[in-house]
Every structure is written in C-alpha cells, then in structure tokens.
C-alpha cells in the first residue's frame, strides 16, 4: 500500500493538481490588493509646443505665441488605486477558490482510498496464488500421467469402460476448474505491480502475512453516520454548495455601484513648471445601468445552480447509505463463504490422508490418490480466493464510509513512514468501534 501511494501516477497527478489549486488561491487573494502602477519614460518632439490664446469676449488674440513645455523632458508617475467593488468581487472569488482547493483535496483522498482498496484486492489474490501455484505444475504432470494410466487400465479391462470414462471425466472437469481459478489468480500479481508502478517484468515475492479473521467493530448506524461525514464525494458536494451560495452573493455585489479611490504621484522635468512633482487625488463612483435589467436573470441562474447542487447531494446521500448496507451484507456473505471453503479444505485434506493411507497399504489405487490431491489443491485455491474476497469486502466497508488510511499528515513519503502511518490508521479506525462499544 505504501509503495502504491508513493509511486502511483494517479496519486501523483492529484498531488500536482492540489498544489496548482493552492497557487491559484494565493493569486486570487492578491486580486484583493489595490493596484499600484508605475510609469517612467522620455518624451520629446521636433519643435516647440507653442500656442496662443483668444479672448472669448472680444475674439481677439490676447497673448502672443508662447510655450510652456520643453522639447525634451523626463516624466514619471506612480499611481495607487482601489476599486471597492472589485475588492468585494475578488473577496468572494477567493472564498470560492479556497473551496475548490478543498474539493481537490477530497478528490486526492478518494484516489488514495481507491488505491488502498485495489491494492488490498490484488495483494490477497496474489498471495493466494503464490501459496498454491508452485504445486500446480507438478500436479498437472501427474494428472497427465493419471489420464494415460486410466486409458491403460481401460484397455486392460481392469475396470469397466464406463468406470474409466467417468473417472477421466471427473479428472478433466477438475483440471478445467483448476485452470480457471488459476487464471484469475495469476493476473493479480501483474495488477499489483501496475498499482505500485513497477516494471511488469519485475519479479517479487510477497511476505507471508498474519492470516486473521477481520471484523467490523462498528454498528450499521455508526457506519452510516461516518459515511455521511467522511465520504469524499459528499464533502465535495458540500463545498460545491458553499461555492453556489457565495456565487449568489457575488452576483448581487457585482451589480452595486463601483467606488474607485486613487492617488497618483507625478514628476515632470519640464523647467517651465513651477512644481516638478505633485500629487493627484480622485474619488469616482460608477455603475452599469444595463446590469439592472439582467439582475433577475443572473440571480435566478445562481439560485438554480444552488438547487441543482442540493438535489445532487441528496441523491448522493441515498446512494452512499445504500453502498454502506450492500458492503456490510457482502462482508457477511464472504465470511460465510470463507468458513465453508475452509471446512471443505479441511475435509478434503482428511480424505486425502485417508486415501493415501489405504493406497500405501495396497487397499486403494494410486489414481484415487491423484484425484484427491487435485481436489485438495483445488480446495486450497478456492479457500485462498475466498479469503481474498473476504479481505476485499472488509476493505470495501471502510471504503464506503470514507475512512482515511492516512488519518494524519505524514512527516515524509518514504516507504517505511507511509507503511507505519497506514498501519496506525487502520488500527485507529478499529479502536473507534471498540471505544463506542
């Protein structure tokens, strides 16, 4: 599980998306700051900027042509402006972006939970295959020899043709079932390597884990409550609901008149100026009157989006509760299936020991021993597969309630640190049920 979290490409993608959303949140917060614009440069012309004046009363020229500006000069200005309306809109956008960041975090949680579930499923199937498949090839060779021996027995007339054919039919049918189960198990190791982003040609061996009987220490009511609080999909819809509510506020604010406060420091090297530098102040209020005509439509759209989110969250709540009940029922069924297959395995091994003993005492036949060995291997495969199903069903229960495998932040993403955090996380969820009981 630790290797899958560290190296899985889907998880690394979600980590990058979360970092990008965090950067976008920082940028959206900066939009609330006033605008500070600086300009500096050189201005010149090929002749003097001369002009004269004309009296508006007499119409006569009142001054001779003169100039008050040098041909070449240096100019600069530094302006600070703040639009109150833009500040309000930017504030609500920053709130929405903060919720979008939380949505990305929830999606990352979901990816980790899915990775853990897939690893659990593939690991236990690969472990079951690893325990049995080494014994399959030699047994297949013995079966082929048994088929040849059965045909020789049939030719010699030691058994009736019907008995020999019926035996061969049982033997071939068992082989077919064995091949089918083996085919399903051998692919689990490849799936596990893919989840860990290992080269598919990598050869690795799974350590023998402690085979325990998993239990769900929480009641169905507790599972439902945790699912409604913890499922990433539901929490994501909660953030979408908040975004829709803020969108209504942002729509209303955007229709208000805009008040712009600004001040500018100016510099001009023109020697004719009495003051080379000065400050400008202004306060302007403005508004788009045409926005009033579209206010109702824009507000209705924002409210409709909020209703859609509410309806979608309600439908998702029902789906989540249904998944919790199905997962619990499936876990109970897999427990019963595993116990049955384990009992079958025990019986098959007892029969094998009995048949082997009678064969050794010359009271049985070697072909009966081979058939019983095949049945015992098949029972072991079936038991291993049932145990893999049991572990998968156990993991799905915690997946349906949104249980975090990593309940707290980890110091680093090394394999040992992640593995320790995963073990602590699973133990913590089990302790929750024990404390409630």
Whole-angstrom Cα distance, residue 336 to residue 92? 54
Taking the CA atoms of residue 165, residue 166, residue 168 and residue 170 in that order, the dihedral angle to the nearest 10 degrees is 160
Q: Residue 38: in which H helix or E strand, if any?
A: strand 35-44
Query: Helix count (H) and strand count (E) of the chain?
Result: 9, 6
Residue 431 lies in a domain: no
CA-CA distances (angstroms) from residue 383 to 96, 136, 206, 350, 390?
A: 52, 15, 18, 16, 10
* Domain containing residue 158: CATH number: 1.20.1600.10
Whole-angstrom Cα distance, residue 372 to residue 176? 15
Residue 274 lies in a domain: no
Q: Which residues contact 331 (CB under 8 A, 6 or more apart)?
A: 216, 390, 393, 394, 396, 397
HEC letters along 353-386: HHHHHHHHCCCCCHHHHHHHHHHHHHHHHHHHHH
Residue 65 lies in a domain: no
Tell me if 121 sits within 8 A of 184, measured CB to CB. Answer: no
Domain that residue 179 falls in: 2-37+85-259+306-404
3-class secondary structure, 81? strand
Residue 219 lies in a domain: yes
Q: pLDDT tens string for the chain (437 positions)? A: 888 888 876 767 767 777 777 777 777 766 666 777 788 787 888 787 778 888 788 878 777 788 788 888 898 988 888 888 787 888 888 888 888 888 888 888 888 888 888 898 888 888 888 877 777 777 777 777 777 777 777 777 767 778 778 777 877 777 777 777 677 667 888 888 888 888 877 888 888 777 788 888 888 898 998 888 888 888 888 888 888 888 888 887 877 788 888 899 999 888 888 888 989 988 888 877 777 777 788 778 878 888 888 888 888 889 999 999 999 999 999 999 999 999 999 998 898 888 877 765 554 466 677 778 778 888 888 888 888 899 889 989 988 988 887 766 677 778 888 888 888 887 777 676 555 54
Residue 71 lies in a domain: no
Tell me if 381 sits within 8 A of 185, measured CB to CB. Answer: yes
Calculate helix-pair angle for 220-230, 295-360, nearest 10 degrees.
130
- CB neighbours of residue 161 within 10 Å: 10
Distance of CA 186 to the CA centre of its chain: 27
Q: Greatest CA span in the chain, whole angstroms?
A: 145
- In the chain, how many domains are there? 1
Residue 225 lies in a domain: yes
The DSSP code for 215 is -
The dihedrals phi and psi of 66, each to the nearest 5 degrees, come to -145, 170
Residue 181 lies in a domain: yes
Tell me if 371 sits within 8 A of 167, measured CB to CB. Answer: yes
Tell me if 259 sits within 8 A of 364, measured CB to CB. Answer: no
Whole-angstrom Cα distance, residue 406 to residue 11? 14
Whole-angstrom Cα distance, residue 177 to residue 352? 19
Residue 301 in tokens: 């759209």
Residue 46 lies in a domain: no
pTM of the model: 0.71
């Amino acid at each position: 599980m630790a290797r899958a979290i560290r190296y899985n490409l889907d998880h690394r993608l979600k980590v990058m998306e979360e970092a990008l959303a965090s950067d976008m949140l920082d940028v959206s917060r900066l939009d609330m700051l006033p605008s500070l614009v600086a300009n500096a440069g050189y201005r010149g012309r090929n002749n003097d900027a001369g002009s004269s004046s004309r009296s508006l009363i007499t119409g006569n020229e009142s001054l001779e042509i003169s100039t008050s500006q040098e041909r070449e000069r240096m100019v600069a200005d530094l302006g600070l402006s703040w639009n109150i309306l833009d500040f309000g809109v930017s504030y609500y956008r920053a709130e929405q972006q903060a919720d979008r960041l939380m949505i990305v975090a929830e999606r990352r949680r979901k990816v980790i939970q899915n990775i853990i579930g897939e690893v659990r499923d593939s690991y236990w199937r690969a472990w079951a295959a690893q325990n049995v498949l080494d014994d399959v090839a030699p047994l297949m060779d013995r079966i082929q020899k048994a088929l040849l021996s059965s045909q020789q027995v049939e030719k010699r007339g030691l058994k009736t043709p019907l008995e020999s054919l019926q035996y061969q039919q049982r033997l071939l049918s068992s082989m077919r079932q064995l091949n089918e189960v083996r085919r399903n198990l051998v692919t689990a190791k490849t799936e596990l390597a893919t989840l860990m982003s290992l080269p598919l040609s990598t050869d690795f061996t799974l350590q023998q884990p402690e085979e325990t009987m998993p239990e769900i220490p929480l009641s169905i009511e507790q599972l439902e409550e945790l699912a409604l609080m913890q499922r990433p999909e539901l929490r994501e819809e909660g953030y979408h609901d908040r975004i829709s509510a803020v969108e209504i506020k942002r729509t209303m604010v955007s229709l208000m008149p805009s008040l712009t406060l600004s001040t500018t420091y100016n510099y001009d090297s023109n020697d004719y100026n009495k003051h080379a530098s000065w400050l400008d102040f202004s306060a302007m209020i403005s508004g788009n009157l045409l926005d009033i005509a579209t206010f109702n439509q824009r507000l209705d759209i924002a409210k409709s989006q909020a209703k859609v989110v509410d309806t979608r969250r309600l439908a998702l709540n029902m789906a989540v509760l249904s998944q919790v009940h199905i997962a619990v029922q499936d876990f109970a069924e897999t427990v019963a299936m595993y116990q049955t297959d384990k009992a079958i395995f025990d019986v098959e091994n007892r029969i094998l020991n009995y048949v082997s003993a009678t064969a050794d005492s010359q009271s049985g036949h070697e072909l009966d021993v081979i058939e019983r060995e095949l049945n015992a291997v098949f029972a072991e495969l079936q038991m291993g597969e049932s145990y893999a199903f049991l572990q998968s069903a156990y993991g799905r229960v915690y997946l349906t309630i949104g249980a975090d495998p990593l309940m707290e932040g980890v110091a680093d993403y090394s394999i040992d640190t992640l593995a320790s955090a995963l073990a602590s996380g699973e133990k913590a969820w089990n302790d929750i049920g024990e404390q409630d009981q």
